[in-house]
Amino acid sequence: MFRDENYDEEIPDEEEVYPDTEELSDDEEEQAERMANRGELDGVFSLRQTFYSGEEFKKQVIKYILKTRRNIVFSRWEKTKIGAKCGGKGCVWRIYCSLERPIKKWMVKVYVNTHTCHPTGKSKLIKSPAIAEVMLEKIRKESEMSAPMIREEFRDKFNIIISPEQAKIARRIVLDKLQAECNEHFARLNDYEMELLRSNPDSKIKINTTTKPNGAKAFHSMYICFHQIRVAWKEYCRPVIGLDGTFLKHSSLQGLILIAIGRDPNNQICQIAWAVVNSESNDNWQWFIHRLKIDLGLGMGDLVTIISDQHKGLIHGVTVELPRAEHRACARHIYSNLKKNHKSDTLKPLFWRIACSYNEAYYEKSLDVFKQFDPLAADELLKKDLSTWCRAFFRIGSCCSDTHNNFTASFNRTSKIARKKPFIQMLELIRRDAMQRIATRCKTAKDETGLVTKKARKEVEKYCDEAKHCYSLPSTSGDYECVEFENGYSVNLPSRSYACRKWDLSGIPCRHVVSVIRENGLEVEDFISDYYLTSKWQGLYMNGLSPVNGPKF
């Protein structure tokens, strides 16, 4: 389709002896080879340069055009021979490439690298298929890219002019190709499910479809929870789950990834399960949470803490499936909504002082300061359920004092590239990321020699330094009063509780408790929650995900 039938210049037959290589061309070939090894061989030719196929050579010609803006045309196009020349008036530039049978590669046998014309910014070979090839990955990442934007991209990046019709057709070619990729992936979902179950037995995989008016099946949702992760989370992790949904970015995919994230003993991200659904509806969230409830054995949620951005569908799902769970709202989202009507920068530290108050006394004090600064903002804030966003009203037991859902936000960032890929490729990138993370953490955890994990130990070290301003007075039945400056805090070591509530909520002794422990000649690490033990950290990552064979298998 790129052949120029009007070209009559003779190109040497393969049987003819092609010209000897010029003395300086060895350096040129070496340079081209070095550039190829660095992945920089875009639009660079040299004599005796080789290609694996004629198609590869033709693609290189297109790259040369994009780089030089010359009007190159194909002058010969046969099964084993391809020639090209510059269409500029009187220009002598030309190249000839043919199959070199002894090495089974295509080789450049004639290359006159001299132009006697000026770049025109147009080329007969830059047609819609070639434009589509160049723009494929760009449109894959930015599906909203329009035909005028494609023209602008070619003008700005390559200084080449293409017509509106060419850009329009190229965009259609790309979208059709992406849709074909998507259709192929959906057609192989059952095969993918079987391979996941073969490689990772007892995993929980669920695919739901709907029926179109014409009777054809259409994808609705898919849920994945690997057996190794499910068992390890139940045995070694705190009963804390972050829930969130994030939109797919592929041009042919519409829907969301729903994700359940845990916190490992080193307080790092731990993927539990994920699902792809067609929309963030009440039914889809309820279905996802129901699957989690069954697979993780959550019951009615008595011992579970859920953290989310409190989307209406998510709230509905938790209320129905886990009615007795503690459901915290991400304080970052609450502040984000609050500042829409209250713009002062001073509001932010005042808000977080309230949200991070561990007990009601500090909550009341911080709230009074907030009210004095902005009474209207305080009224709006108090309409929110305090038990969902303020530490002073959190339930004790999960050893988690988080007021935010940053862990799911971390997953959303790491999955950004995956969400731009076709369906199964996206799921595979997420699975591989989880597999690699488990393998890396396994090695790190094995090398840990301390009783508790690194992050827990770092927290304790900080509190040990801060404890220098505290001293304790004993009472009976394991009760103590820790005094810091003019303030006193009651501490009970046997029940692991004290007035501040920081120890109660996090499971890690703060400076007041550390002061009492050390003055009684005890070891601080013995009073850290078992959820932070190195042995649990190691156990969590002991059994990783098994590798999965690709589509060819």
pLDDT tens track, the chain, 553 positions: 333 333 333 333 433 333 333 333 344 444 444 444 444 446 789 999 999 999 999 999 999 988 888 899 999 889 999 999 999 888 999 999 999 999 999 999 999 999 999 887 888 888 898 888 888 878 766 767 889 999 888 888 888 888 999 999 998 888 777 767 666 666 678 889 999 999 999 999 998 887 777 776 777 899 999 999 999 999 999 999 999 998 887 655 678 999 999 999 999 999 999 999 988 889 999 999 999 999 999 999 999 999 998 889 999 999 999 999 999 999 999 999 999 999 888 999 999 999 999 999 999 999 999 999 999 999 999 999 999 999 999 999 999 999 998 888 888 888 888 887 878 888 999 999 999 999 999 999 999 999 999 999 999 999 999 999 999 999 998 899 999 998 999 999 998 888 999 999 999 999 999 999 999 999 999 999 999 999 999 999 999 999 999 887 7
How confident is the model at residue 18, as a pLDDT?
A: 35
Integer Cα distance of 179 and 53 in angstroms? 28
Claim to verify: residue 306 and residue 265 sit in the same structural domain? yes
Who contacts 303 (Cβ-Cβ below 8 Å, separation ≥6)? 239, 397, 398
Report if residue 520 sits inside a domain.
yes
Report if residue 10 sits inside a domain.
no
**Of 112, 145, 179, the domain-final residue:** 112
Claim to verify: residue 230 and residue 379 sit in the same structural domain? yes
Asked whether 372 and 362 are in contact (CB, 8 A), the reply is no
Claim to verify: residue 428 and residue 496 sit in the same structural domain? no
Claim to verify: residue 287 and residue 139 sit in the same structural domain? no
Report if residue 231 sits inside a domain.
yes
Report if residue 52 sits inside a domain.
yes
Helix (H) or strand (E) holding 210: strand 204-211
Claim to verify: residue 223 and residue 319 sit in the same structural domain? yes
Report if residue 119 sits inside a domain.
no
Claim to verify: residue 249 and residue 135 sit in the same structural domain? no
Asked whether 313 and 280 are in contact (CB, 8 A), the reply is yes
How confident is the model at residue 38, as a pLDDT?
A: 42
Claim to verify: residue 307 and residue 363 sit in the same structural domain? yes
Q: What is the number of structural domains in the chain?
A: 4
How confident is the model at residue 138, as a pLDDT?
A: 81
Claim to verify: residue 286 and residue 410 sit in the same structural domain? yes
Claim to verify: residue 236 and residue 364 sit in the same structural domain? yes
Report if residue 118 sits inside a domain.
no
How confident is the model at residue 198, as a pLDDT?
A: 95
How confident is the model at residue 121, as a pLDDT?
A: 80
How confident is the model at residue 216, as a pLDDT?
A: 67
How confident is the model at residue 184, as a pLDDT?
A: 65
Claim to verify: residue 484 and residue 507 sit in the same structural domain? yes
User: SS3 for 231-293, per residue?
Assistant: HHHHHHCCCEEEEEEEECCCCCCCCEEEEEEEECCCCCEEEEEEEEECCCCHHHHHHHHHHHH
Integer Cα distance of 454 and 441 in angstroms? 12
**Of 438, 473, 498, the domain-final residue:** 438
Domain hosting residue 68, numbered range: 25-112
DSSP 32-61: HHHHHHTT--SS---TT-EESSHHHHHHHH
Claim to verify: residue 284 and residue 361 sit in the same structural domain? yes
Report if residue 446 sits inside a domain.
no
**Of 405, 438, 471, the domain-final residue:** 438
Report if residue 8 sits inside a domain.
no
Rg (C-alpha) for the chain, rounded Å, is 32
Claim to verify: residue 514 and residue 414 sit in the same structural domain? no
